[in-house]
Amino acid sequence: QFVLTQPPSASGTPGQRVTFSCSGSTSDLGRYGVNWYQQLPGTAPRLLIYRNNERPSGVPDRFTGSTSGSSASLAISGLQSEDEAYYYCATWDDDLDGHVVFGGGTKVSVL
């Protein structure tokens, strides 16, 4: 069973850079592309990064994604209070008929 593991929490002060990881049980996590979602309290998730490091229109360039081997990372630079949210990584697992796998989520707090 393919698993994506994220740290439960991360934090920083306004203006800081925060980085957190997403580790997979595969040697090439970026093969099918890692996507990142932001979920603000009480709202639906929002696509933040797709295909490892690409941003949809409207997503600030403060958010950057990267992958290396079995790990992916999301970095938030110039941290703002409105960035306080849960962040989920996700990718495709081609086992059986294929399915989408989500990480457990990282809660980012702005101190």
Partner 1 sequence: QVQLVQSGAAVKKPGASVKVSCQAAGNAFSDHYINWVRQAPGQGLEWIGWVHTDSGDTNYAQKFQGRVTLTWDTSISAAYMDLSSLKFDDSAIYYCARNTPLVLHAFDVWGQGTMVTVSS
Which of 24, 105 has the CB closer to partner 1? 105
- The DSSP bridge partners found for residue 76 are 18, 63
Site string for partner 1, 92-111 (x = CB under 8 A): x---xxxxxxxxxx------
**Cα–Cα dist 109/94, whole Å:** 34
Q: In 10 A of CB 28, how many CB atoms?
A: 11
DSSP element (H, E) containing 36: strand 35-39
**Between 1 and 13, whose beta carbon lies closer to partner 1?**
1
Enter the tokens of residue 6.
């994220």
Region 36-95 residues binding partner 1, contact defined as CB under 8 A: 37, 44-47, 50-51, 56, 86, 88, 90-92
Contact residues: partner 1, CB under 8 A = 32-33, 35, 37, 44-47, 50-51, 56, 86, 88, 90-92, 96-105
